[in-house]
């Protein structure tokens, strides 16, 4: 019986060894497939995470760009408004000084000087426009030396100065403070960026 038991034990050992080998092979196969599945799942999860992170970065960049654009535009608007206010302040100060100047004796001398220069450039009869409040200067201005007739009319400007027309030659000279103020405003607009170029 010893040999049958030995044979049986040997048979059991062979079967158990084969069974354990099969179990190990199955375990290795399961582990290998599990690793492949886990690796594929990890790759998919990483790919999805990468896509999500990329989308979030794009969203954050776009949001930052919008915020920056709004801030830049708000700052530009604030600067524009401040420059415009400064130009208005300067223009108001200049207008006050002009108004004060028109009340001085120097204003009459200024009108005489300007008209005398303009009369030299016109070789025909002229019409001179003054503000209604300056018409009293026409008596003095009429005495300026010229060979031609000088006629006075009320002008449509309000700050001071004068305009000279020669209808025979279709010529015009504008020496009004109103026009100078418009030119000054235009200069400010160009100099301080208050004007948008087309």
62 and 138 together in one domain: no
Q: Is pLDDT above 70 for 196?
A: no
Percent of the chain at pLDDT exceeding 70: 95
**pLDDT given for residue 108 in this prediction:** 92
Last residue of a domain, one of 42, 67, 101: 101
1 and 80 together in one domain: yes
Last residue of a domain, one of 75, 101, 127: 101
For 146-169, the pLDDT digits (tens) are: 778 888 999 999 999 999 998 777
| Element spanning 66, H or E | helix 2-101
In a domain, 56, yes or no: yes
For 60-117, the pLDDT digits (tens) are: 888 888 888 888 888 888 887 888 888 888 888 888 998 999 999 999 999 999 998 8
Buried residues in 28-58 as b, exposed as e (16+ CB within 10 A): eeeeeeeeeeeeeeeeeeeeeeeeeeeeeee
In a domain, 198, yes or no: no
CB 144 within 8 A of CB 112: yes
**pLDDT given for residue 198 in this prediction:** 46
Count: domains in the chain: 2
64 and 144 together in one domain: no
In a domain, 196, yes or no: no
Range of the domain at 135: 105-191
**pLDDT given for residue 193 in this prediction:** 66
């Amino acid at each position: 019986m010893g040999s049958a038991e030995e044979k049986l034990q040997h048979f059991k050992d062979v079967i158990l060894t084969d069974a354990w080998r099969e179990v190990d092979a199955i375990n290795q196969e399961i582990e290998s497939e599990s690793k492949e599945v886990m690796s594929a799942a990890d790759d998919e999860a990483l790919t999805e995470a990468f896509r999500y992170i990329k989308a979030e970065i794009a969203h954050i960049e776009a949001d930052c760009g919008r915020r920056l654009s709004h801030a830049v535009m708000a700052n530009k608007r604030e600067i524009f408004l401040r420059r415009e206010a400064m130009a208005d302040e300067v223009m108001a100060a200049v207008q006050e000084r002009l108004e004060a100047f028109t009340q001085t004796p120097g204003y009459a001398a200024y009108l005489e000087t300007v008209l005398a220069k303009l009369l030299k450039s016109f070789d025909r009869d002229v019409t001179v426009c003054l503000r209604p409040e300056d018409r009293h200067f026409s008596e003095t201005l009429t005495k300026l030396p010229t060979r031609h007739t000088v006629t006075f009319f009320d002008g449509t400007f309000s700050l001071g100065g004068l305009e000279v027309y020669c209808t025979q030659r279709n010529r015009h000279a504008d020496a009004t403070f109103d026009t100078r103020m418009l030119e000054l405003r235009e200069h400010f607009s160009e100099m301080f960026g208050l004007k948008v170029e087309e």
